[in-house]
Structure 1
Amino acid sequence: MSLIGKEVQPFAAKAFHNGEFIDVTEENFKGQWSVVCFYPADFTFVCPTELGDLQDQYAALKELGVEVYSVSTDTHFTHKAWHDHSEAISKIEYIMVGDPSQKLSRNFDVLNEEEGLADRGTFIIDPDGVVQAVEINAGGIGRDASTLVNKIKAAQYVRNNPGEVCPAKWQEGGETLKPSLDLVGKI
């Protein structure tokens, strides 16, 4: 079942952010755009490359009014330890959510039940707390965070311009489409 168009389900979790432990709930995803990036586990191999790449895009995402949340089934304590001991992870400025109960991973349908770990899932959530985009990769396939900037810009454009849609490879300032009878069979 697709999560597109669905509101984020209630949850409560602990997170590590800027040297502190904080509480995170579904309410954090309301009032601003959010990116939630699930990954299997701390202290692994592909995960730090992805989270480092996400940090490289963090300033651009913040300029768009987006907050970023990384999530694994590790605890917030493990996130702090990883942040304190990994050169790549020590640069992370966004929120690192712990999901040892696996509730959040289940809510987003990315939990690998056999392993007890989250799949590589990326979710774009609008200011109403509604999922607008989903990307899920197999464990061995890392994601490219640079694609998030354009996806967010497209999602924000569509939200702010009802009746218009963004075609493939749309870039900010590019032409959009207005679905109508006149376009049927002409694209």
Structure 2
Amino acid sequence: MSLINTEVKPFAATAFHNGQFVPVSNESLKGKWSVVVFYPADFTFVCPTELEDLADNYATFQKLGVEVYSVSTDTHFAHKAWHDTSPAIKKVNYVMVGDPTGAITRNFDVMIEEEGLALRGTFVINPDGVIKLCEIHDNGIGRDASELLRKVKAAQYVASNPGEVCPAKWHEGAKTLTPSLDLVGKI
């Protein structure tokens, strides 16, 4: 069953954020747009490149009213140690959630049970706590924050403009579509 258009399941965790350990829960995701990015593990190889890319684009996410949460099955202590030692992770100003029990990772259906690690899962969640975008792929394939930003803007546009949809390669300001009987077979 797809997670699209389902509400985020309840969870509670501790995160590392701006030099502090802070509580985070499913309620933290409500009231604003959120991006939740799962990755396999701290102190690895592709993961810091992705988290750094998100950090480099974090101000743009914030301008869109979006909070970013990265999640791995590491502890919040490991996140702090990684933040303190990695030049790429030092740039991270968004919330780094620890999920050592794997409960959140399982809630989002990205747990690799035999490894105790998460797949690379990306979720865009609306202010009601409902999942609007879900991408899960192999751990050897890194993600691109600029493409994620495009998709967040599309999700926000569709939410604000009922009856309109964003076609392939849509970018902010580009033409959208209004599905109707008159449009059938004309694209």
The alpha carbon displacement at 1:27 in A equals: 0.5
Q: Distance in 1 between matches of 2:152 and 2:120?
A: 19
The equivalent residue for 1:185 is 185
State, as a whole percentage, how many aligned pairs show the same letter: 71
The alpha carbon displacement at 1:130 in A equals: 0.4
The equivalent residue for 2:82 is 82
Q: CA RMSD in A?
A: 0.6
The equivalent residue for 2:101 is 101
Q: State the secondary structure of the residue aligned to 2:9.
A: coil
Q: Distance in 2 between matches of 1:124 and 1:175?
A: 22
Could you tell me which runs of 5 or more consecutive residues in structure 2 were left unpaired when the two chains were aligned. none
The equivalent residue for 2:25 is 25
The equivalent residue for 1:156 is 156
The letter of the residue matching 1:82 is W
Q: Distance in 2 between matches of 1:69 and 1:137?
A: 18
The alpha carbon displacement at 1:57 in A equals: 1.1
Runs (4+) off by over 6 Å: none
Kindly report which structure 2 residues correspond to 1:12-161, keeping only aligned pairs within 5 A, or say none: 12-161=12-161
How many residues are matched?
187
Kindly report which structure 2 residues correspond to 1:1-16, keeping only aligned pairs within 5 A, or say none: 1-16=1-16
Q: Distance in 2 between matches of 1:168 and 1:132?
A: 17
Q: Distance in 2 between matches of 1:155 and 1:47?
A: 25
- Compute the TM-score of the two structures, normalised by the length of structure 2: 0.99
Q: Distance in 2 between matches of 1:73 and 1:124?
A: 20
Q: Distance in 2 between matches of 1:106 and 1:43?
A: 22
The alpha carbon displacement at 1:149 in A equals: 1.2
Could you tell me which runs of 5 or more consecutive residues in structure 1 were left unpaired when the two chains were aligned. none
Q: Distance in 2 between matches of 1:151 and 1:71?
A: 20
Q: Distance in 1 between matches of 2:150 and 2:140?
A: 24
Q: Distance in 1 between matches of 2:177 and 2:87?
A: 44
Q: State the secondary structure of the residue aligned to 1:5.
A: coil
The letter of the residue matching 1:155 is A
The letter of the residue matching 1:117 is L
The alpha carbon displacement at 1:56 in A equals: 1.1
Q: State the secondary structure of the residue aligned to 1:182.
A: helix
Q: State the secondary structure of the residue aligned to 2:36.
A: strand
CA contact (8 A) 2:56 2:91 kept: no
The alpha carbon displacement at 1:7 in A equals: 0.3
Instruction: Output one character per residue of 1:119-155: Cα deviation in whole Å (capped at 9) or x when no partner.
Output: 0001000000000001112011111111111111111
